Structure 1
Amino acid sequence: MYTLKKSLGQHFLKDENMCRQIVEAMPVEEGLQLLEVGPGGGAITKYLLEIPGIIFRAVELDAEKVQYLEKTFPAIKGKLINESFLDMQPPFTGEFSIIGNFPYNISTQIMFRVLDWRAQVPAVVGMFQKEVAQRIAAGHGNKDYGILSVLLQRFYRVEYLFEVDEQSFNPPPKVKSAVIRLTRLEAPLAVKSEKKFNLLVKTAFGQRRKQLRNPLKGFFDKTFLQEPIFTKRAEELSVADFVTLSEHML
């Protein structure tokens, strides 16, 4: 068998019904290139290997798990990448989708890597700590809406699919879990400067309780700062509002 490593945030699914639901949430078509992040003990991997007509790979940092997977699932030979998802290069040329029971300690970083690779990644199905899933899926006006919500929703439609009970895992985590799906938008909102847009969003939410005029006063001329939008707080602005605002930055 294998050992569970707390340092890698390892909580492995044991509920077969949940495993199947996660796999079924991924849109599949002939020739799909699919990367599983953190296969661990292979709970959903065994179902992914059964999908006909796809090109499958998995990335796993833990060498012990790589050996276990190769012994347990002979079909995975040659499809495993033994490194960190955060350090790897895109595993395919062309487009590929991503699926996984993501290690909760790096799940936010995984999403920022998805943003970096957005031109190649049309879909993501992932399990997260419930609070992180809620933040990614939240709409404006919601207390969970924040930086990750805005940056991801500019490019992806986010669906909060279902929650997963703690007892579905070994060992049971101390947090609740949820599965979400990201589907890339055909026409994401364009901005003049990605750097300025990202800075605007991060600065606005850095003081989310304050009216926008305070944290953003250095980004706009004094006349424009008198616009009514600056009396709002960051969570009240839609993704489109942030895009429009970024067009007026100095």
Structure 2
Amino acid sequence: MPNPLPELDLLTRDDLMKLVSRVRVRLRKSLSQHFVVDPAVIRDMVNNVPVGSQVLEVGTGIGTLTYYLARVASRVVSIEVDGRLLRYAENLLRGVGNVSLVSGDALRMPWPKVDFVVSNVPFSITSPLIMRIIREGVPGALLTIQREVANRIMSRPGDEDYGRLSVVVQCVYNITRINDYAPDAFYPSPEVYSSLVKLTRTSPCIDDLQMLELTTNVLFRHRNRKLRWVLSKYLGSEAIRRVGDCGVNMETRIRDLSINEIVRIAKSLMEFRDELDRLVH
């Protein structure tokens, strides 16, 4: 059977638009569905996947990225929640032996053990997907996400975008921004720019990641308040004493706390885990 798509270095926007034009389904706004129509996005993603790796793709779409991932990966498992699009992908990928297509919600179903998660992430699931990647302990990920989310996960203490997602992601992954893309790299065009980021797992800053999640969830409810005020509001004087004993300045505003300081706070609040859990859930 002839290849349905050209070699990656010969792929053009016209090739991608022709595929998209054949899709006779109304895209669901609730699923934040956008097709990649700029070949640079696909090349950047595929060229950053280690040859021979096992890949989980979240969001098959019509299978274009899947097709090229299969050229470099040893195995691709691709999950798509929209069964209508999956039928187009099955047709495009017929005869590609190292791809398994799965119908379902990638946030709810079990994941296979893989080396990399790759996704042109639907904007509606960006944060939940990143948190799932962290909890699954995936060694690496390549994600096309909103540029403002990329800014957020890469932000440093004191930055306007610095928040709980910055802390939790940087605790577990080194982050590299590979490229930015204008809205017309996708169809239909979103209203914002997108960024491709690469996450490479490193030694976590804390063993108990759940405790870090609970702590940051409460602290960053009031990022402009001082640490003492937040602890007093939610946990009381004993928590203030415990955190004070670990050497963190109580007059520091939450937005200015370093990741190391937040880890020390989380460790000092271990006996308040149940209370933090109630506050969050």
Matched, 1:39 2:60: yes
Does 2:219 correspond to 1:200?
no
Cα deviations across residues 123-180 of structure 1 (Å, max 9, x unaligned)? Answer: 0000111111211121222111111111111111111221111111111111221111
Question: 1:13 corresponds to which residue?
Answer: 36
**SS across alignment from 2:215:** helix
- Alignment partner for residue 91 of structure 1, among 105, 109, 112? 112
Could you state the TM-score of these two structures normalised by the residue count of structure 2? 0.79
Task: Go from structure 1 to structure 2 and tell me whether the alpha carbon gap of 1:110 and 1:138 turns closer, same or farther (over 3 Å shift).
Answer: same
Letter in 1 for 2:206: A
Q: CA RMSD in A?
A: 2.0
Structure with the larger helix share: 2
Q: Which residue does the alignment assign to 1:123?
A: 140
2:163 corresponds to 1:146? yes
Rounded to whole Å, the distance in 2 between the matches of 1:211 and 1:122 is: 35
Are 2:205 and 1:189 aligned? yes
After superposition, where does 1:47-196 map in structure 2 within 5 Å?
47-51=68-72, 54-76=74-96, 79-92=100-113, 95-118=114-137, 121-185=138-202, 187-191=203-207, 193-196=208-211
Letter in 1 for 2:268: H
Identify which of 216, 219, 225 aligns with 1:210: 225
Tell me by how many angstroms 1:68 deviates. 0.4
Question: Per-residue CA shift, 1:88-130, capped at 9, x if unaligned?
Answer: 10123xx431001011011111011112201xx1000001111
For 2:227 and 2:44, locate their aligned partners in 1 and report how far apart those are by CA, in whole Å: 41
Matched residue of 1:141: which SS? coil
Counterpart for residue 24 of structure 1:
47
Q: SS in structure 1 opposite 2:68? A: helix
Question: Which of 1 and 2 has greater Rg?
Answer: 2
Deviations for 1:59-104, whole angstroms, at most 9, x for unmatched residues? 0011111110111221457610100101110123xx4310010110
For the Cα contact (< 8 Å) 1:157–1:184, is it kept in 2? yes
Give, in angstroms, the shift of residue 224 of structure 1.
4.8
Gap regions ≥5 residues in structure 2: 1-21, 272-281
> Letter of the aligned partner of 1:124 in structure 2?
A
State the AA in 2 paired with 1:82.
S
Question: Whole-Å Cα distance in 1 between the matches of residues 119 and 159 of structure 2?
Answer: 27
Contact 2:243–2:265 (CA under 8 A) maintained in structure 1: no
What amino acid sits opposite 1:107 in the alignment? T
Unmatched 5+ stretches in structure 1 = none
Aligned residues: 241
Distance 1:125 1:197 in 2: 24
Cα 1:8–1:76 shift into 2, 3 Å? farther
RCO greater where, 1 or 2, for CA within 8 Å and sep 6 or more? 1
With normalisation by structure 1, the TM-score equals 0.89
What is the Cα deviation at residue 33 of structure 1? 1.1
In the aligned structure 1, how far is the partner of 2:75 from the partner of 2:243? 52
